[in-house]
Structure 1
Amino acid sequence: MSPTSHPSSAVPGGPHAPGGPDARHGAVVRAPVTAVTCLEDRAHVERSVVLDLAAGVQRVRLGPVSALAVDRTLHAEPTSGPAATVLDVRLVRAWEPRGPRPPAEDDSALRHRIHTLEQERRDLEQQRDRLDARLGLLGRLVTDLLREIGEGTGFGEAERPRWAGELDRVDAERDTYGERLRTVEARLGAVAAELADVQRAMDLAEVEPSELFAHIDVTVAAAEAGPVGLRLSHLTPCALWRPAYRAVLDGDALTLETEAVVWQRTGEDWSDVRLTLSTARSALATEPPSLGEDRLTLGDRTAAERRTVDVELREEEIGDLGPAPVLGLPGVDDGGEARVLAAPVPVSVPSDGRAQRVPLSAFTTVARSEYGCSPEVSPLVTQVVRGENRSGHVLLAGPVDLVRGGGFIGRGTLDFTTPGAPVELSFGSRDDLRVVRETEESRDSVGITQRTVITRTVRLHLSRFSAPGELGDRVVVLRERIPVSEVAAVEVRLRKEACSPAPEVDAEGIARWDVTLAPGGRRTVTLVYELSASSKVAGL
């Protein structure tokens, strides 16, 4: 049976009976959105409504709802009241004429011209009414003035100069406003004629656009009469969210505010709804991918391959736990596990496609600042602030608005951070600190085996440009990387006796110096290391 062939069932009781709305005589019952779970690229919408139902089977139409709702995800269930069973629930869509509203950007030039002419006609009609009222007032003023002249003449009180002046002034104003009224009426006639021509042209060229509206038809079997609560849910596209943050650095305190930026253009506003943000991806397929054959074959090395070892320098980024970075507008990076965040208070999100910021949480932690520089990457000295994640939930990767000293200083990026893990933010570079990097390289062959030794020297010149009267030392952390060998034929050795001063080197080959600079001070740091390879190594 088609959706439109169901007979409408009358519901007994008054139109505003206690317990909820009445849907008899085919009336449409409003079902507002009460809760929304916003996913990465769509939203799960819930609606709640209480209906006064009679005993037996009856159908109720709810809505209107978004025409973008996904039919196969529509679900309805009773939540309160007498025993009731939902027998059927479906979406019914219909095209209806669009109500009066300004034309959209993609409407035709004729429709835009009609809107302009109608607006001009309304303005001219308002001007005509004001001029008519003004001329009527001047006419009454002339009548009163002539009555005053007659009465004054009868009593022998002649004031000819004043009367003549008043009559001249009133006549001049009547002529002025009369001419303006004739101009407005002429323009109004021209606008009306042009509007009629454009309207006829549009009637021949276009059809009045309609809008697609949707309603939900629910068939319910109630054991007895009374109010029954229903909860309906469905998925709808054209809604998404992304995390955003605001970091405020005040001395040794770091305040991090977590927000959700929500966009939605589903066709209906979300007013005072319970908003939940989820990283679940309902669009992903649940079936495992098909596996193909991967054949491995073994072959003997040639004599040339046995005599030489090919090596190459490879750049490798040192990464921590968390999602891999993505280019462009990122998805919601959740570290491979679905995360759920909830707005603390009901929120409203209009269906205008614009970004709406929803506060989620905020915390303050002790900030540990470090002035660091990696001269091989950039000569700038950056202030890096670290603190502990005390929000109680996972901080997803997203942009951060940086505030320091009461002012906005820029925007950074926050990586995926678990509760209790350190939060690391960069608050921009320092203009009073500069680093200059110089490198030297020498290549020698030593020993009977003609072993190749490459010696590299890196000098880092650090300067502090202090303002007059500035006091206190500043510690700058310098980092320089040393190659790490993965083959036994190549050895890397740090020459600590030639380094000034000797750095601390970690397992990843990162050399670190903590350099203390007084106001206006200068320091030079030297790093020397050797790459030693046998004669059969090629590629260095």
Structure 2
Amino acid sequence: MTTQTATPVPATPAPVPLPVTAATCLEDRAHLERTATLALPAGTTRLLLGPLSPLAVDHTLRTALSDPTVRVLDARLARSWTPPRPGPPAPEASELRHRLHQLATAKRAFEAEQHRLTARLALLDQLTAELLREVGEGTGFDQPEPQRWQAELARVEADQDAATERLQQVRFELAEVGKREREASVALEQAEREPTELLAHLELTVQAEQPTNCELTVRHLTACALWRPAYRARFADGELRLEADAVVWQATGEDWSGVRLTFSTARSALATAPPLLREDRLQLRELSAEERRTVEVDLREEDIAVAEAALGALAPAELPGVDDGGEVQVLSAPAPANVPADGRAHRIPLGAFQVPAGAERIAVPELSPVVGELVSFRNPADHPLLAGPVELVRDSGYLGRGQLRFTAAGARAELSFPGSDDYRLHREVEEHRTSTGLAGLGQRSVITRTVRVHVSRLTPPEEAGEQSITLRERIPVSELAAVEVRLRESACDPRPDEVDAEGVVRWELALAPNSRRTVTFVYELTATAKVAGL
């Protein structure tokens, strides 16, 4: 008789912790670095490290060992799925989870009762229809049973009233339970986090010539992590203090604790595929007689940085990209930081500086009826300032949000702070169209526009002294010889202090307390007879 001995199944090694020690946040992902110290015996060893984020990108996995005598034979990510625990929460679960389970159970009970009552009412309606049909048939065959019919109809009507009343009560209670369940779900989401159901581990096979202790470094990309620059500006007494932060979001499934953070503007996803080449055919054709006689023109609006800065353009509602001026910038956090995997925004300080700054009251009545304060300064840092939202703060506290444009090192930057409520602006525009010359003999169309801006300063009685504001308006700029734009300075009151190449007209106005001034300027658009579209 032969005895067979069962071959022992090798036990799964216990996972070795592999925490995140450094992270490089990109525009739409993050490059993580993990380190662990391994005690390896001589020979081949299979290790299980983790858990890791299940969002790790497999083909970006890279491993390195500090001991050159140790060789990595295989490294791969293995994911395991842990389904949620059925039934009620465990006894050690929080009271909030038990409350949410009770509400969900009560909601299911009310929904089932609602379905039963709805079906019962449908059957009672069908029974009423059958009784009425029987009444009709019995009356037609001269077999009336008024007492029985009346009793049965009364019973059905009583059942309908009771079911309808109970259905309304169930619907009301169902709405209340649903409301409390939503509130409990929101509270649970803010207070606790569901355990991760999908986990990933690193399966590593190494070969060592002799027993050794070495450090393992693992690098890989992961999704659901990004960053954006943000600032906080405080202006007081001619000094501006600008604090630069990095706002980090991450929902990778694992918290980052004591991690060295680096922030890069590199866009690795843009170079993954070459552009597609398509044919671009150009065709020439003869212009028709009508096209040779007519020049089509159109008015095009262009954003002017000065006007936007004067208004304090806010950041858009959607999350914008990182504007680095076309050159990759890399910023490092001065100290390790903690970033929980809750998907919320976490501000990481990057640095701050304080510089002298000048303030100027700016009015752009074409775009806004308020007067803002434009604060300008030079970037003293040795690196550019990335574009991003700015929290505006003064001695009185938080004022609002502005936008900082990309600013190179040593370049001039502008921030718009909310101005005083003492000023009121009112803008009026008049337009007249005339023509000069004879038809067919150099006839020209002339559009004359007169713009009046009324500026009022309303102050309390105890305030004295004049204040200066800069008023900016604009006139069109022509790109065609057939259309001319001319500012009639003789008709302007007062005459403008400056007219730049972009058509921005500027006045420096001094207003005494409780005074009012009117600025008038006139410009003409002259077009030949061939121009159409004005």
Q: Same fold (TM over 0.5)?
A: yes
Give 1:273 deviation, angstroms: 0.8
* Structure 1 residue 337 corresponds to structure 2 residue 338: no
Report the equivalent of 2:486: 493
CA shift for structure 1 position 384: 1.2
User: Quick one: distance in 2 between partners of 1:268 and 1:518?
Assistant: 62
Counterpart position of 1:117:
none
Number of the residue aligned with 1:288: 274
Distance (whole Å) between structure 1 residues aligned to residue 50 and residue 104 of structure 2: 31
Q: Tell me the equivalent position of 2:361.
A: 371
Query: How big is each residue's C-alpha offset from its partner over 1:316-345, in whole Å with a ceiling of 9 and x where there is no partner?
Result: 22359xxxx976221222233322111100
State the match for 2:510 in structure 1.
516
TM-score norm. by structure 1 comes to 0.72
Contact conserved, 2:28 with 2:227, CA < 8 A, in 1? yes
> Separation in 2 of the partners of 1:103 and 1:418?
54
Indicate if the aligned counterparts of 1:443 and 1:454 stay in contact, CA closer than 8 A: yes
2:392 is aligned to 402
Distance 1:251 1:358, change over 3 A: same
Cα pair distance change 1:418/1:260, threshold 3 Å: same
What's 1:464 paired with?
Answer: 457
1:441 aligns with 2:431: yes
- Deviations 1:251-305 (CA, angstroms, capped at 9, x unpaired): 2011111111112121211110101112222333433211111111122222222
In structure 2, relative to structure 1, the CA distance for the partners of 1:213 and 1:313 (3 Å cut) is closer
Question: What secondary structure is seen at the aligned counterpart in 1 of 2:420?
Answer: strand
Show the counterpart of 2:130.
none
Structure 1 residues 210, 62: closer, same or farther in 2, change over 3 A?
A: closer
Q: CA deviation at 1:103?
A: 9.9
| Residues in 2 aligned to 1:469 and 1:47: alpha-carbon distance in whole angstroms | 65
Please, what is the CA RMSD of the aligned residues? 2.7
**Which residue of 1 is the match for residue 145 of structure 2?**
none
Distance 1:417 1:31 in 2: 40
Q: 1:244–1:479: structure 2 CA closer, same or farther, 3 Å change rule?
A: same
Distance apart, 1:97 and its partner CA: 6.6
Q: Which range is displaced more, 391-400 or 225-234?
A: 391-400
Q: Deviations over 1:370-410 (max 9, x none)?
A: 11111111121111111122243332222211111240111
How far apart are the structure 2 equivalents of 1:224 and 1:110? 59
2:258 to 272, 285, 305: 272
Distance 1:103 1:535 in 2: 82
The answer to whether the Cα contact below 8 Å between 1:97 and 1:210 also exists between their aligned partners in 2 is no
Distance in 2, Cα, partners of 1:529 & 1:110: 74
Which secondary structure does the structure 1 equivalent of 2:418 belong to? strand
Give CA deviations for 1:60-95 in whole Å, capped at 9, x if unaligned. Answer: 22112222222211111112x462221211112223
User: Counterparts of 1:117-266 in structure 2 under 5 Å?
Assistant: 211-266=197-252
**Alpha carbons 1:387, 1:422 under 8 Å: kept:** yes
**Match status 1:537 vs 2:531:** yes
Give, in angstroms, the shift of residue 52 of structure 1.
1.5
- Write out per-residue CA displacement over residues 182-221 of structure 1, whole angstroms, 9 at most, x where no aligned residue: xxxxxxxxxxxxxxxxxxxxxxxxxxx9933222121122
Please say if residues 362 and 391 of structure 1, whose CA atoms lie closer than 8 Å, have aligned partners that are also in contact.
no
The correspondence for 1:484, drawn from 477, 480, 499, is: 477
1:525 match: 519
SS at match of 2:419: strand
CA gap 1:112/1:390 in 2 versus in 1, 3 angstroms? farther
2:45 to 37, 55, 58: 58
Counterpart of 2:200, as a letter, is: A
Tell me the SS of whatever aligns to 1:478. Answer: strand
1:35 matched to 2:19: no
2:61 aligned partner? 74
**Count of residue correspondences:** 420
Residue 423 (str. 1) matches residue 417 (str. 2): no
Cα distance change, pair 350–104 in 1 and its aligned pair in 2 (3 A): farther
Shift of 1:362: 0.7
Measure the CA separation in 1 of the matches of 2:459 and 2:513: 5
Structure 1 residues 528 and 109: CA distance shift in structure 2, 3 A: same
Distance 1:29 1:111 in 2: 40
The answer on whether the counterparts of 1:485 and 1:492 sit within 8 Å (CA) in structure 2 is yes
Q: Secondary structure at the match of 1:284?
A: helix
Task: Identify which range, 442-451 or 267-276, moves more after superposition.
Answer: 442-451
Q: Which amino acid in 1 is paired with 2:518?
A: T
Q: SS of the residue aligned with 1:72? A: helix
Residues 196 and 253, structure 2, Cα contact 8 Å, conserved in 1: no
Q: Structure 2-normalised TM-score?
A: 0.73
Q: Is the 2:75–2:202 Cα contact (8 Å) retained in structure 1? A: yes
Look at both structures and tell me which one has the larger radius of gyration over its CA atoms. 1
Q: Deviations over 1:423-460 (max 9, x none)?
A: 21111132101222222222222234332222222122
Look up the SS of the partner of 2:23 in the other structure.
strand
Supply the distance in 1 between the matched residues of 2:16 and 2:352 (Cα, whole angstroms): 40
- Which residue type is aligned with residue 291 of structure 2? E
- How many angstroms does 1:516 deviate by? 1.3
Gap runs ≥5 in structure 1: 1-6, 10-24, 115-208
Q: What one-letter code is carried by the residue in structure 1 that aligns with 2:42?
A: A
Moved more, 285-294 or 356-365: 285-294
* Rounded Cα–Cα distance in structure 2 between residues aligned with 1:326 and 1:223: 59
Q: Is the 8 A contact 1:253 1:367 kept in 2?
A: yes
Residues 237 and 286 (structure 1 numbering): CA distance in 2 closer, same or farther, change over 3 Å? closer
Is 1:358 the counterpart of 2:352 in the alignment? no
